[in-house]
Chain A
Amino acid sequence: MTSLILQVAVRVLMPLLLMFSVFLLVRGHNLPGGGFSGGLVAASAWALFAIVYGAGAARRALRVDPLTLIAAGLGTILASGAVGLVSGRPFLTGLWGALDLGAYGAWMVGTPLLFDFGVYLSVIGVVLTIIFVLEEE
């Protein structure tokens, strides 16, 4: 598609959308959002890019093969589950610890956050795999 407006709009929107997706991911544990919606927003951003500039350009801009993202996401999920396993609890047991951020207070960190990040990565990978392939046809 060669619409100039779209091309410019995408340039502006892309960073915003990607930042928004990370925002959704991070706050997902306490407020609406999470790995699914975050991942979908990011994937939509890239899909938009692919429609406007073509899947090839999108692939180049993404730098990683979406399939790798799927694998990385699933690997992250498994790793977050394995943490529980290694420490002698059942698979996928959520483990938490407080991360001291000094003046900003403590931030609760745990394997479920890692899990959510894995979901985020795999959702992006899945959607982009599908969209890119269909776009390229």
Chain B
Amino acid sequence: MPALMLAASILAGFVAAGAAPAFVRRFGPRAAAWTALVPAALALYYLSLACSEPAVARVLPWAPSLGLHLSFTADGLGLLFALIVSGVGAVVAVYSSGYFGGDPRLGRFYGWLLVFMAAMLGVVLSDNLLLLYVFWEITSVSSYILIGFDHEEANARAAALEALVVTVAGGLCLLGGVVLLGTAGGSFEISTLLARREGIQAHPLFLPALVLVLVGAFTKSAQFPFHFWLPSAMVAPAPVSAYLHSAAMVKAGIYLLLRLGPLLGGNAVWTWGVGGAGLVTLLLGAFMALGQTDLKRLLAYSTVSALGMMTLLIGLGTPASLGAAVVFVTAHALYKGALFLAAGSVDHGAGTRDVRVLGGLFAPMPRTALGTGAAALSMAGVLPFLGGIGKEMAYEAGLGYGLGVAAAAVAGGLGFFFVAAVAGYGPFRGRAPAAAHEVPRRMWAGVWTLAGCGLLLGLRPGAAAGLLGAAAAAAGAPGMQLKLWHGFGPALGLSLATLAAGAGLYALRARVRESAARLTWRRGPEAAYEALLGGTLAAAAGLTRGLQSGRLRNYLVIIVLTLVGLAATPLLLFQGVHWPETPYDLRFGEMGIAAVILMAAGLAVRSRSLLGAIAAMGAVGYAVATIYLRYGAPDLAMTQFLIESLTVLLFVLAFYRLPNFATLSSRRARVRDGAVALLAGGLVTVLVLVATGLQLHHPISDYFVRTAVGEAHGRNIVNVILVDFRGLDTLGEATVLGIAAIGVLALIKLKRKEP
């Protein structure tokens, strides 16, 4: 049962997350690294799947009536991402135990880290779009908590909220898109939808669905104009940034684009929307990275740029570009994860992240320096690292598409080179040994592992060719070639040119940084976000002050008047009041009942005596019961009689000791209230009259009437409805009653603590 195993692997992540806090508390922070065994074991499992048969999808129904199935698939694309998520997860878990030292919050951190990992695995392994959405939202929420890990810091909270608002808003769009896609395609299974591509693309709902899904993917993967949350999120601890903001969460959007590309792509909206967003993000991110001085923000902007590169490549949609995207995703996860971890190590060892200050760390931190250097070379696009292969493939894809795209890719590559040099070379160059110390082994080992994978896969691309090829095939580009040496060609020329120009750019880094910082957009989309958020809060506060006066009567007046206004306006404007021709065939006795009800109601209103008012209320109830009796509802009549007796009893028991009513309200208030009440009553009267005049199509109770005897074996249809057809309602009702009774008991019986 491979699908069950897949589901179990995700479940294992959640279970481990639940157990992690207790584990860390019991065995101490140093043992926390052992939690890495869970992601490591999962990674091995996914690796074993990658070596065996390609795709499986099994369905375990969860809420079948909603089309929600627990169905998982493990094709090349899903497994590639699952491997990245679990593998980097294992490295990050080991690294964190060193990074946080003896932090008492370590258990909580591991718990959320594993929750995130499990949810991320769910995203990339789900075959059901709704299920994918559920996991998608779990990643948003867990990332909120992880970014805001230092929740005592105001800016950490703000950044976490920002990431949450942006990604959850995108998640809502995604949900809308998913539902529309499901409507258009008649299924939520991705595999089924892919087979119905033609019909879905021709469906009128296709365009809105496409746009909504794209917004969802763009927010998650920090595409312009939603990119701003990613640099802000750099307040998170370094392992979180390495994991969420380079390897895993921001790749969720990329994954979605790759996964749904074969379904949604191949049209102008996709090409221009995805490609355009990617292009803008690529250039903007690369440019804004130039001006950064904080190591992590620098890496964050280059991540934005790299995500733009991936999106651009996916948007182009050619086999070459999709293959390049898959390779680039892998290379980026490895080198950027390593660099973020390295940034954390540098911060840890040298006590600062300012690239203008850092230098000379090679002597005190040789191991960190070596690992970081290897990752930076991959990022810079130097062969034989995987990053170099990915870059050349991207250049080739760009050249194959058009010169403009190739130029943008080269500009991006230049930015990567610059950032790689500043982050991977700058802090370690120079002789003057800074007062710094090497980090523990569990920290540099993580950098080494990720950077080493980048080198090994570059040297022996054949090892990963099978999986990467299968991933590209799932994204719509079969037959991808993965090799180290692409031969002499324009792509190699561009690559060499990038290296040369990048070296020049780095030589002028101080001036580049200044001018870029001067040009950097200060009031971008982030300002719009802040204005929107602030405006919403202010509006809500104003509304609350205006409406929440704390007096029930004011609320009631507002509600009633709003209702009257809303209901009466269209009635008067568009409908006109059609008085029914012969409203009622009333008989004398019924007129009498009506008169009794109205008189009793009037008495209840006017009565100065408390018991009198209660009695009048009871009279109304009894008279209403006779109406039920009169019009064929003996059950109702009986229940109404009994309930009314009990209600009156209740009122008398509770209130008979009270004095009679005093006149509390002024005359003016009474006139005002009377007017409001008459308005409401008048509206209801008119509505009833109009409704009586309408003949709607026949009610659903026909079904009950037809099946009550045959299927439910009861001839009292009202009772059959209560206990059989709508039994769940009645169960709810009985529960409410029970709660009310317990509430009454608590209110009356519990003795107030005397102050």
Contact = CB atoms under 8 A, between A and B. Distances in A.
A130 B647 CA distance: 11
Contacts of B595: none
A110 B719 CA distance: 14
Contacts of A130: 650, 740-741, 744-745
A127 B646 contact: yes
A77 B583 CA distance: 43
B642 A44 contact: yes
Interface in A26-76: 28-37, 40-41, 43-44, 47, 51, 66-67, 70-71, 73-74
B712 A131 contact: no
Contacts of B724: 94, 112, 115
A108 interface: yes
Contacts of B268: none
Interface stretch (B145-153, B213-221, B433-441, B631-639): B631-639
A40 B642 CA distance: 6
B716 A29 contact: yes
B654 interface: yes
A122 B727 CA distance: 15
Q: For B643, B718, B738, which residue has the most chain A Cβ atoms within 10 angstroms?
A: B738
B203 interface: no
Interface string B692-730: 000000000000000000011111101110111001101
Contacts of B642: 37, 40-41, 44
Contacts of B713: 29, 96, 108, 110
Contacts of B738: 70-71, 73-74, 122, 125-126
B748 A112 contact: no
B496 to A, nearest CB: 68
A23 to B, nearest CB: 12
Given A34-B635, A133-B748, A77 B731 contact: yes
Contact of A34 (B723, B737, B740, B742): B723
Contacts of B730: 77, 115, 119
B714 A134 contact: no
Interface in B273-294: none
A7 interface: no
B554 interface: no
Contact of A73 (B720, B734, B742): B734
A34 B650 contact: no
Given A37-B635, A96-B713, A112-B714, A135 B741 contact: no
A30 B741 contact: no
A67 B742 contact: yes
A22 interface: no
Contacts of A34: 635, 716, 718-719, 722-723
Contacts of A127: 646
A31 B740 contact: no
B664 interface: no
B653 interface: yes
B748 A31 contact: no
B749 interface: yes
Interface in B52-111: none
A77 B713 CA distance: 18
Interface string A1-40: 0000000000000000000000010001111111111001
Contacts of A37: 635, 638-639, 642
A108 B720 CA distance: 14
Given A67-B745, A70-B741, A116 B719 contact: yes
A123 B722 CA distance: 14
Given A92-B727, A127-B646, A131-B653, A28 B716 contact: yes
Interface residues of A, number: 50
B735 interface: yes
A122 B739 CA distance: 11
Contacts of A47: 646, 649
A92 B734 CA distance: 14
B645 interface: yes
Contacts of B742: 67, 70, 129
A29 B642 CA distance: 19
Contact of B723 (A70, A119, A123, A126): A119
Contacts of A123: 734, 737
Nearest to B654: A134
Contacts of A67: 741-742, 745
A40 B646 CA distance: 9
Given A47-B646, A131-B646, A133-B749, A33 B635 contact: yes
A129 B639 contact: no
A134 B719 contact: no
Contacts of B711: 94
Contacts of A115: 723-724, 727, 730
A118 B744 contact: no
Contact of B728 (A43, A44, A91, A116): A91
B714 A29 contact: yes
B709 to A, nearest CB: 9
Contact of B716 (A31, A71, A133): A31
Nearest to B727: A92
Contact of A36 (B639, B744, B745): B639
A132 B712 CA distance: 37
Contacts of A135: 653
Contacts of A43: 646
Contacts of B645: 44
A15 B744 CA distance: 28
A137 B748 contact: yes
B720 A77 contact: no
Nearest to A130: B744
A30 B650 contact: no
A133 B654 CA distance: 10
Contacts of B731: 74, 77-78, 81, 92
Contacts of A77: 730-731, 734
A28 B719 contact: yes
A127 to B, nearest CB: 6
B723 A74 contact: no
Interface string A102-124: 00000010101101101100110
Contacts of B720: 29, 112
A28 B730 CA distance: 15
Given A70-B738, A74-B738, A119-B723, A40 B643 contact: yes
Contacts of A125: 738, 741
A66 B649 CA distance: 18
B271 to A, nearest CB: 47
B719 A33 contact: yes
Contacts of A96: 713
Contacts of B719: 28-29, 33-34, 116
Nearest to B725: A94
Contacts of A133: 744-745, 748-749
A60 B503 CA distance: 95
Contacts of A24: 638
Contacts of A29: 713-716, 719-720, 723
24 contacts: A29-B723, A31-B715, A32-B635, A33-B716, A34-B635, A34-B716, A35-B723, A40-B643, A74-B735, A77-B734, A92-B731, A94-B712, A108-B713, A113-B723, A119-B734, A122-B737, A123-B737, A125-B738, A126-B737, A126-B738, A129-B745, A130-B650, A133-B748, A134-B748
Given A34-B635, A40-B643, 8 more contacts: A32-B638, A44-B642, A67-B741, A70-B738, A70-B742, A92-B727, A119-B722, A126-B737
Interface of B: 634-635, 638-639, 642-643, 645-646, 649-650, 653-654, 711-716, 718-720, 722-724, 727-728, 730-731, 734-735, 737-738, 740-742, 744-745, 748-749
| In the A-B complex, the 3 residue pairs with the closest CB atoms | A40-B642, A29-B714, A32-B634
